[in-house]
Amino acid sequence: MDDFEMLYTLHFNSVYRYILSLCRNETTAEDVTSETFLKAMGAIDKFKGECSINVWLCQIAKNTYFSLLRKRKGEEILDLDFELESGFSDFTERLMDKASALEIHRCLHTLEEPYKEVFTLRTLGELSYAEIAKLFGKTESWARVT
């Protein structure tokens, strides 16, 4: 297994879940995640280790997703009624029913930035507060409070 294949294997799920939490569309999340790893492969020599590789990949994924949104010019790509893939079993087990899940997604969708993104990075992206702080160029305390 070469280095990039190992990178892909280790980080695919976290990047995919992060993008899925932003777009709420499995197809879009898969496309953005694939494009993220293609971009990362082309730019791996630019990675300087200032943050973790996972944070770096999530930054690429976020930029790729927002570029896609700009291209689509507001096309509605949110699907609040999506089914969560495997890997979310612990999360879905905590949800009482589909109605509760929908209400939770609606509440999360109404959060303003950066609260929404910090929450998403922490809970679904499973990033540490230190990694989130680096991503935003802020302190770890800021990430915890936010």
pLDDT digits (tens, 9 = 90+) for 29-67: 999 999 998 888 888 777 777 778 888 888 889 889 888
Find all residues with CB under 8 Å of 101, minimum gap 6, and list them: 92, 95
Q: For the whole prediction, is pTM greater than 0.75?
A: no
DSSP output for 81-98: TPPPPTT-HHHHHH---H
Report in angstroms the alpha-carbon separations of 28 from 14, 25, 31, 35, 132: 15, 5, 5, 10, 23
pLDDT digits (tens, 9 = 90+) for 21-36: 888 888 899 999 999 9
pLDDT the model gives residue 32? 92
Give pLDDT tens digits for 75-92. 544 443 344 444 444 444
Measure the CA angle with vertex 23, ends 79 and 91; round to 5°. 80
